[in-house]
């Protein structure tokens, strides 16, 4: 089996001006490029001051030509490099003494140099040298130190001096004023050999925590439903409650007023690894606060001792990577620390980094990728001994596939988001309508749609252009010369409306996004709606919406939702989300409770996936591709809908089919087009008319069962509806013509049928004939037919055992027809006792909704994580009911609620728990003489080997 970890990492050979092997060079990421500066040539033992750039998108190196008139810094290595605005900030390092040619004549530096990456020039050293700074605030010369930039200030932490002694101090430099501000003691010994300091590029805000700790940012915008009302007008009914709105975490640029913390990670004593984690928080008065969070780190496993670690912050995760070397094992290891709960997780690097020499990593935050440089053919131990950095190969690791990503930035603030939603719900400036596929309409503002929906704006421009073209008078337009040159607008667009061809909930959620530029309503967060929004974001190229939907799906990803998320992520080419969902699908199948055996067939791997795949086989590629893979334009949608919404379209033929010659006997089986080409009789018309309501009801049930549990009416798109109905009519047709029922029917109105299947046909012949007909369909059509057949089988099984007296307001009613819930589920021989028959009578008087609520209240520790809102397969639910029913029944008897049980046992009460008779068990029932007389409870429980924990 191909490892999933290899889907998240791939190795590429770099090209261009590839740098030589270096020691102690610095790397700094700016956008989609990395800047490499300085270092010592490995084999020449010569220090350089060269600058290289690496393009993350093209994997090409480029050496920058430095201007000879510039004040180029002294060549150095083991220095620090950071980015501030458009400047590359270089501090300290180790170098050769001035005017000395001896390699051994080393010195240590403490200067600050700036390189302008926009102009390609070095700033003169006189600009960055602060003569006004107090001497005590100027750091001593050092190398192998840590550095970070936050709020226009450079922080220099620890390092080593020329004597290789570790330094325990921290200095702060004002990059704007070019002056050293402060020195303070730092009790930890830090160096690049064992430590790393990181500051995130952006700050991640958690709206829910902010609203709980402070007053709501939307508390001043008025009461919902009245925010745009004047003169005491009545509030708008049916508005979204403010307390139901959920705001996703979002990223926000750093400011001097709200600087980001500096995270410092250290590990030392590699034989018995000690890990430290400190947070340096810049304060508004220019001071800093240092907090030690070393003791709060948790996890099932922790990072090993990492040498020369590199780090980064992505979203709410601190990422650290480095070289792990022991006597028996060596590797490049990557770990992530969740800064919210301080738990460690290991990033599976895959086979790409399993061999070779890898040492330096950097983060491409905009793409959620970690890039690792090295040599896939090198030797890690040998290169580590010489401290060599190789740049010939780069491995890209997709962090989003592990749930580590940068939350998207908001377009407008939270207050404006809720005001935008209020404007939609209160109908402010509504001069346009979105028409759904069920003819329900959503009033909105055309101007707002144009501003926030580029595709709609372009289509409206084309529409206005076409109208003006037809209003002009001239020969070219009269003869239609320009028609082929001119791009035509979408035919679904009119001056006052647009037919979106989507179910009402999906269309409303999309319009809510356009008004709020966020996913904040419960409707938008529903799994089925999220799937459709992801598809729409791909179709209409709505990048911000796609990023929000992917974020919501990452948060909603669970064992119950993983299969559906995997399917829609595959359709929309969201590779990272697809891989992560696949991980959860595989993990959930491996952790399936004992006894739940997935049913397998040739097209599906398990019953739990069938719930999604059945609908996917009907849906295929909704709105984008047809059932055979053809591209469906909006005009094709119209054609598909006109056929799919007609209940007789697949059977109705032309008048030429009245020709009796078509009824003559033939040696070939009639194909679908032969059958549908014949004129239908009045009796067939009557049957089709009656069946039309059945088709609609089945479609509603199919949609409710596999697409949207919140809607009792079908929310299938036109293409999905057409595929479902076509498959259903084909099943009926094949069953009628080539089934056993047709063999016994004598219908003079269909003589071709009577002559095709003879009286002495056996079942094998009928199956062969059905197979020959099915072989004429395409693979996609066969999958659709298979999906509907399985759906009909589920409905048939349910109809046999369903509790018809139950209401149909919740999903449990449908489940009630599929699950066995009887006193036969009691373990051991309890089900043989006459007294336990009271359970069967209790179940008959209890609707399935109430029963499932009670079972979830009685669930064992095994199902502690289960919720009634989860999507769980039938096998797992059956096992849950079987294992929880005895616990519920015992609790019910002990609580005194089982009156039938008390009535049966009124005359026999040798044992009592809390005043309610709880009887021991025996295979002969409660009236066993041995049990009553001498042996008692021991005699009863020896037969209950099936439920040792539930002996009464």
Q: Is 894 inside a domain boundary?
A: yes
30-39, 323-332, 682-691, 882-891: which range is least confident on average?
Answer: 682-691
Q: Is the pLDDT of residue 636 over 60?
A: no
Out of 351, 382, 402, a domain closes at: 402
Give the residue from 324, 281, 284, 280 showing the smallest Cα distance to 301: 324
Comparing 406 with 922, the larger pLDDT belongs to 406
What CA–CA distances, in Å, run from 890 to 527, 825, 918, 922, 950? 37, 13, 8, 17, 8
For the residues 677-681, what does the mean pLDDT come to?
A: 61
Q: Is the pLDDT of residue 668 over 80?
A: no
Out of 350, 381, 402, a domain closes at: 402
Based on the domain organization, do 32 and 145 belong to the same domain?
yes
pLDDT for position 507 = 95
Based on the domain organization, do 869 and 781 belong to the same domain?
no
Q: What tens digit of pLDDT does each residue of 437-483 get?
A: 888 999 999 999 999 999 999 999 988 888 887 676 444 443 344 44
Dist. CA 859–CA 840, nearest whole Å = 20
Dist. CA 720–CA 627, nearest whole Å = 9
Based on the domain organization, do 301 and 195 belong to the same domain?
yes
Q: Is the pLDDT of residue 188 over 80?
A: yes
Based on the domain organization, do 160 and 243 belong to the same domain?
no
pLDDT for position 108 = 96
Percent of the chain with pLDDT over 70: 70
pLDDT for position 20 = 96
pLDDT for position 155 = 97
Based on the domain organization, do 287 and 248 belong to the same domain?
no
pLDDT for position 691 = 74
Q: What tens digit of pLDDT does each residue of 6-24 get?
A: 889 999 999 999 999 999 9
Between the ranges 172-186, 247-261, 627-641, where is the mean pLDDT highest? 172-186
pLDDT for position 763 = 60
Q: Which domain holds residue 22?
A: 7-200+261-402
Q: For the sheet containing 121-122, what is the strand order?
A: 80-84, 87-96, 106-116, 121-122
79-83, 813-817, 825-829: which range is least confident on average?
Answer: 813-817
Q: Is the pLDDT of residue 301 over 80?
A: yes
* Residue 887 burial by Cβ neighbours in a 10 Å radius (0-12, 13-18, 19+): middle
Q: How confident is the model at residue 686 (pLDDT cuts 50, 70, 90)?
A: low
Q: Is 674 inside a domain boundary?
A: no
Q: Is 218 inside a domain boundary?
A: no
Residues forming a β-bridge with 441 = 435
For the residues 756-781, what does the mean pLDDT come to?
A: 65
Q: Is the pLDDT of residue 804 over 70?
A: no
Q: Is 620 left (phi over 0), alpha (psi -120 to 50) or beta?
A: left
Based on the domain organization, do 177 and 118 belong to the same domain?
yes
**What is the value of pTM for the model shown?**
0.64
Q: In this structure, are residues 27 and 360 in contact, taking their beta carbons and an 8 Å threshold?
A: yes
25-34, 306-315, 716-725, 822-831: which range is least confident on average?
Answer: 822-831
Number of compact structural domains in the chain: 4
pLDDT for position 937 = 54
pLDDT for position 730 = 82
Q: Is 431 inside a domain boundary?
A: yes
Q: Is the pLDDT of residue 736 over 80?
A: no
Q: Is 609 inside a domain boundary?
A: no
* Residue 643 burial by Cβ neighbours in a 10 Å radius (0-12, 13-18, 19+): middle
Q: Is the pLDDT of residue 370 over 50?
A: yes
| Average pLDDT value for the chain | 78
Percent of the chain with pLDDT over 90: 44
Out of 385, 402, 419, a domain closes at: 402
Q: What tens digit of pLDDT does each residue of 600-625 get?
A: 333 333 333 333 333 333 333 333 33
Based on the domain organization, do 397 and 451 belong to the same domain?
no
> Beta strand 22-23 with 497-499: parallel, antiparallel or unpaired?
unpaired
The CATH number for 240's domain is 3.30.710.10
Residues forming a β-bridge with 442 = 434
Q: Is 597 left (phi over 0), alpha (psi -120 to 50) or beta?
A: beta
Based on the domain organization, do 242 and 271 belong to the same domain?
no
688-702, 752-766, 867-881: which range is least confident on average?
Answer: 752-766
Helix (H/G/I), strand (E/B), else coil: 477: helix
pLDDT for position 766 = 65
Q: Is the pLDDT of residue 316 over 90?
A: yes
How far from chain centre, in Å, is Cα 662? 56
Most distant CA pair in the chain, distance: 114
77-81, 836-840, 843-847, 910-914: which range is least confident on average?
Answer: 910-914
Based on the domain organization, do 57 and 159 belong to the same domain?
yes
Q: Which residues contact 554 (CB under 8 A, 6 or more apart)?
A: 400, 403, 405, 577, 580
Based on the domain organization, do 417 and 389 belong to the same domain?
no
Q: How confident is the model at residue 522 (pLDDT cuts 50, 70, 90)?
A: very high
Q: What is the DSSP string of 11-44?
A: EEE-EES----EES-EEEEETTEEEEE--EETTT
Q: What is the DSSP string of 129-191?
A: --SSS-GGGSPPP-BS-EEEEETTEEEEE--B-TT-PBP-EEEEEETTTTEEEEEEE--S---
pLDDT for position 803 = 39
Tell me how many degrees the CA angle 588-589-590 measures, rounded to the nearest 5: 90
Based on the domain organization, do 324 and 356 belong to the same domain?
yes
520-534, 548-562, 619-633, 906-920: which range is least confident on average?
Answer: 619-633
Q: Is 816 inside a domain boundary?
A: no
Comparing 703 with 623, the larger pLDDT belongs to 703
Q: How confident is the model at residue 928 (pLDDT cuts 50, 70, 90)?
A: low
For the residues 738-756, what does the mean pLDDT come to?
A: 41
Dist. CA 369–CA 841, nearest whole Å = 60
Q: Is the pLDDT of residue 923 over 50?
A: no
Between the ranges 417-421, 559-563, 834-838, where is the mean pLDDT highest? 417-421
Q: Is 487 inside a domain boundary?
A: no
Q: Which residues contact 28 (CB under 8 A, 6 or more apart)?
A: 34, 35, 37, 81, 82, 83, 88
The CATH number for 52's domain is 2.120.10.80
Q: Is 546 inside a domain boundary?
A: no
Residue with tokens 């004429």, as numbered in its chain: 776
Based on the domain organization, do 32 and 168 belong to the same domain?
yes
């Amino acid at each position: 089996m191909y490892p999933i970890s290899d889907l998240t990492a791939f190795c590429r050979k770099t090209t261009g001006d590839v740098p030589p092997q270096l020691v102690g060079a610095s790397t700094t990421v700016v956008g989609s490029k990395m800047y490499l500066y300085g270092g010592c040539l490995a084999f020449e033992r010569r220090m350089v001051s060269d600058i290289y750039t690496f393009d993350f998108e093209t994997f090409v190196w480029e050496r920058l030509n430095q201007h000879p008139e510039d004040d180029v810094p002294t060549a150095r290595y083991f220095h620090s490099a950071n980015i501030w605005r458009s400047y590359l900030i270089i501090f300290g390092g180790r170098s050769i003494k001035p005017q000395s040619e001896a390699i051994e004549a080393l010195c240590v530096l403490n200067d600050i140099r700036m390189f302008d990456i926009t102009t390609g020039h070095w700033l003169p050293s006189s600009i960055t040298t602060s003569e006004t700074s107090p001497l005590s605030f100027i750091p001593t010369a050092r190398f192998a130190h840590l550095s970070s930039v936050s709020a226009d200030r450079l922080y220099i932490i620890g390092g080593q001096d020329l004597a290789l002694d570790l330094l325990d101090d921290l200095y702060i430099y004002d990059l704007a004023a070019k002056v050293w501000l402060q020195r303070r003691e730092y009790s930890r010994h830090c160096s690049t050999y064992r430590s790393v300091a990181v500051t995130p590029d952006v700050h991640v805000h958690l709206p829910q925590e902010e609203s709980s700790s402070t007053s709501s940012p939307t508390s001043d915008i008025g009461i919902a439903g009245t925010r745009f009302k004047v003169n005491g007008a009545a509030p708008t009914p049916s508005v979204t409650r403010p307390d139901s709105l959920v705001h996703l975490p979002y990223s926000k640029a750093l400011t001097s007023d709200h600087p980001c913390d500096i995270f410092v990670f250290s590990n030392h004593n590699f034989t018995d690894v000690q890990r430290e984690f400190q947070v340096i928080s810049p304060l508004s008065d220019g001071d800093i606060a240092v907090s030690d969070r070393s003791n709060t780190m948790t996890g099932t496993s922790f990072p090993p001792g990492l040498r020369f670690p590199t780090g980064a912050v992505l979203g709410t995760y601190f990422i650290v990577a480095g070289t792990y070397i022991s006597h028996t094992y060596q590797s490049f290891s990557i770990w992530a620390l969740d800064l919210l709960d301080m738990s460690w997780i290991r990033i599976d690097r895959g086979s790409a980094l399993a061999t070779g020499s890898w040492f330096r990593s950097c983060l491409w935050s905009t793409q959620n990728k970690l890039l690792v440089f090295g040599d896939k053919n090198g030797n890690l131990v040998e290169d580590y001994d010489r401290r060599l950095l190789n740049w010939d190969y780069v491995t890209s690791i997709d962090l989003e596939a592990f749930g580590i990503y940068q939350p998207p930035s908001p377009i407008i603030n939270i207050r404006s988001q809720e005001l935008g939603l209020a404007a939609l719900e209160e109908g402010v400036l509504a001069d346009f309508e979105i028409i759904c596929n069920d003819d329900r309409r959503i009033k909105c503002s055309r101007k707002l749609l144009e501003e926030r929906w580029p595709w709609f704006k372009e289509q409206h421009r084309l529409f206005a252009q076409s109208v003006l073209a037809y209003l002009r008078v001239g020969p070219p337009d009269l003869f239609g010369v320009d028609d082929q040159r001119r791009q035509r607008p979408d035919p679904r667009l009119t001056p006052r409306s647009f037919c979106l061809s989507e179910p009402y909930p999906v269309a409303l959620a999309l319009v809510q996004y356009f008004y709020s530029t966020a996913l904040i309503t419960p409707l938008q967060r529903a799994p089925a709606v999220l799937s459709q929004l992801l598809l729409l974001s791909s179709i209409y190229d709505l990048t911000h919406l796609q990023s929000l939907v992917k974020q919501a799906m990452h948060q909603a990803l669970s064992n119950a939702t993983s299969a559906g998320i995997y399917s829609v992520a595959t359709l929309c080419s969201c590779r990272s989300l697809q891989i992560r969902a696949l991980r959860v699908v595989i993990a959930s199948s491996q952790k399936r409770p004992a006894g739940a055996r997935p049913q397998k067939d040739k097209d599906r791997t398990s019953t739990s996936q069938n719930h999604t795949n059945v609908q996917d086989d009907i849906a295929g590629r909704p709105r984008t591709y047809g059932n055979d893979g053809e591209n469906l334009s909006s005009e094709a949608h119209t054609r598909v809908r006109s056929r799919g919404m007609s209940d007789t379209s697949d059977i109705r033929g032309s008048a030429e089919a009245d020709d009796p010659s078509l009824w003559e006997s033939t040696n070939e089986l009639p194909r679908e087009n032969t059958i549908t080409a014949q004129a239908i009789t009045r009796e067939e018309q009557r049957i089709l008319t009656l069946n039309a309501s059945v088709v609609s009801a089945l479609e509603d049930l199919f949609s409710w069962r596999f697409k949207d549990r919140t809607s009792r009416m079908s929310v299938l798109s036109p293409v999905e509806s057409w595929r479902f109905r076509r498959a259903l009519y084909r099943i009926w047709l094949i069953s009628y013509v080539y089934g056993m029922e047709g063999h016994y029917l004598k219908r003079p109105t269909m003589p071709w049928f009577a002559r095709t299947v003879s009286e002495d046909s056996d079942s094998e012949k009928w199956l062969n004939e059905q197979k020959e007909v099915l072989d004429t369909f395409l693979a996609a059509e066969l999958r659709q037919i298979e999906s509907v057949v399985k759906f009909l089988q589920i409905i048939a099984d349910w109809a046999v055992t369903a509790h018809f007296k139950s209401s149909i307001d919740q999903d449990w009613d449908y489940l009630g027809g599929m699950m066995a819930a009887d006193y036969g589920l009691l373990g051991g021989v309890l089900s043989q006792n006459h007294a336990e028959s009271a359970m069967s009578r209790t179940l008959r008087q209890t609707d399935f909704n109430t029963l499932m609520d009670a079972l979830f209240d009685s669930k064992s520790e095994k199902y502690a994580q289960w919720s009634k809102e989860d999507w769980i397969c039938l096998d797992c639910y059956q096992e849950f009911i079987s294992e929880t029913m005895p616990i519920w029944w015992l609790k019910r008897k002990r609580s005194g609620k089982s009156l039938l049980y008390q009535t049966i046992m009124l005359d026999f009460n040798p044992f009592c728990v809390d005043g309610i008779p709880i009887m021991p068990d025996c295979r002969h029932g409660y009236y066993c003489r041995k049990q009553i007389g001498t042996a008692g409870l021991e005699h009863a429980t020896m037969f209950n080997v099936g439920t040792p924990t539930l002996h009464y």
